[in-house]
Copies of this chain bind each other. A is one copy, B any other.
Amino acid sequence: MDTGHTAWLLTCSALVLFMTPGLALFYGGMVRGRNVLAMLMKNYVAMGVVTVTWIVIGYSLAFSGDAGGLGLIGDLEFFALGELGFGTEIGLDDGEGYPDSVFLVFQLMFAIITPALISGAIAERMKFTSWVVFIAIWSIVVYAPMAHWVWGGGFIGSTDGTEIPGVGAIDFAGGLVVHINAGAAALALVLVLGPRLGWRSEIIRPHSLPLTVLGAGILWFGWFGFNAGSALAADGAAANAFLTTQIAAGVAALAWVLSEQVMHGRPTTLGFASGIVAGLVAITPAAGFVSPLWAGVIGLAAGVICFAALQLKFRFNFDDSLDVVAVHMVGGIVGALLLGLFAEAAIGGVDGAFFGAAEQFLRQVISIVIAVVFSFVATYVIAIIIDRTMGLRVSEDEERRGLDITLHEEQGYVLTE
């Protein structure tokens, strides 16, 4: 075991856990004051629910040996952590330079934040209980298989060794598994859920942008754990991922506010915060595969394209309330595609089209299509089932009075007592 690697991955796990509170604030600041707690809660609860689903079954589906060599799903060797659950220390196997349990917990943090990302789309109108059921199912049925396909020895990440022909796509820290997955799921869920009362007719403003801005800051901070931790070592690859992450985030934020300046005449704080996240999303799949200046190009593309993608929901009339599709699905696609161009074997072992391997671009395209279609369809089915059984949506009266009071019997702020 290497104590340096272990120290770094423990630190990264903590950083990635911290991203979920950061995301909660990022989203929470953008909703109206009467829904702030409901928004925070929909994020925080993922830290409870997914911890349980992951420990019980998700980790096993994603990362224990491939069941039947099909490349489709993990076997159940680690169901309830398997022999590691009750009564045997999980922490001492050091096959890869750090204890197994570090990998388990690092991956758990990814499994938590992915469904939390979706919550931005359904803000201000979804029932809490239905949300809990949704993320429990989704984390097992959608997230775990996708993680297996891409990272767990499944058919997307592999080129061979699986019964299904391997796609051979690469995804450093979760462009497919986390962002495209969450973004496509958000779209499906929103289509079933329908728009908020007053969408496009009333002024619906963020109630506290300082919260949102703080959330973006925490996300940036935590994202170093997400991306540089995905090197699974404290080494040059981690350092490169760290640097590319920083560059993409900074450039994307600038690109976003510049786009605003051009289109609306004013750079906004929310735009800067959004650009940070767009850049972080886009560099996620690429962080360990591209060199620093190409990361800047990815950031630039993410800032401009995600900003433009904000119009999608107005064009196609779906109330993706906090723009999960525009930022995470589109941002993830930007990164996963450009990676197919800019990846370079000297950095991360794989060349992209610019460095002579045009087929890598194709692999990325195929993987994106699979991820979008699978996530969208599976989520749509889950959403319909929950809608028909428990109902997805609060009543009109509850929506109007606000979810904080009606779902949680609390008020976000009582500033004048």
Q: Which residues of A contact B (CB under 8 A)?
A: 1-8, 10-11, 13-15, 17-18, 20-22, 24-25, 28, 32-34, 36-38, 40-41, 44-45, 47-52, 55, 80-81, 84-94, 98-99, 101-102, 104-105, 108, 128, 203, 205-211, 213-214, 216-218, 220-221, 224-225, 228, 233-240, 242-243, 246-247, 249-251, 253-254, 257, 264, 266-270, 272-273, 275-276, 291-294, 296, 344, 346-347, 355, 404, 407-417
A37-B90 in contact (CB<8A): no
Residues on B with beta carbons closer than 8 Å to the beta carbon of A346: 87-89
Residue in A208, A234, A272 with the greatest tally of chain B CB atoms within 10 Å: A234
B240-A108 in contact (CB<8A): no
B221-A17 in contact (CB<8A): yes
Within 8 Å by CB of A213, from B3, B5, B44, B254, lies B44
Residues on B with beta carbons closer than 8 Å to the beta carbon of A251: 48, 51-52
> Given the interface contacts A4-B2, A33-B416, A409-B266, does A51 sit within 8 Å of B10 by beta carbon?
no
Within 8 Å by CB of A108, from B5, B37, B246, lies B246
Residues on B with beta carbons closer than 8 Å to the beta carbon of A102: 239, 242
A6-B217 in contact (CB<8A): no
> Given the interface contacts A37-B209, A247-B51, does A293 sit within 8 Å of B239 by beta carbon?
no
A196 to chain B, nearest CB (A): 13
Please list 13 pairs of residues, one from A and one from B, whose beta carbons are closer than 8 Å in the complex, sorted by A's number.
A2-B4, A4-B6, A13-B224, A21-B216, A36-B209, A44-B217, A80-B293, A90-B292, A99-B240, A101-B242, A203-B417, A207-B413, A209-B410
Residues on B with beta carbons closer than 8 Å to the beta carbon of A250: 47-52
Taken together as a complex, chains A and B put the C-alpha atoms of A272 and B409 apart, in Å, by: 13
Known: A48-B254, A266-B407. 8 other contacts (CB 8 A): A47-B253, A49-B254, A90-B239, A91-B239, A101-B242, A108-B246, A208-B210, A209-B410
Within 8 Å by CB of A10, from B81, B238, B413, lies B238
Residues on B with beta carbons closer than 8 Å to the beta carbon of A268: 408-410
Residues on B with beta carbons closer than 8 Å to the beta carbon of A416: 33
> Given the interface contacts A48-B253, A217-B24, A243-B101, does A14 sit within 8 Å of B225 by beta carbon?
yes
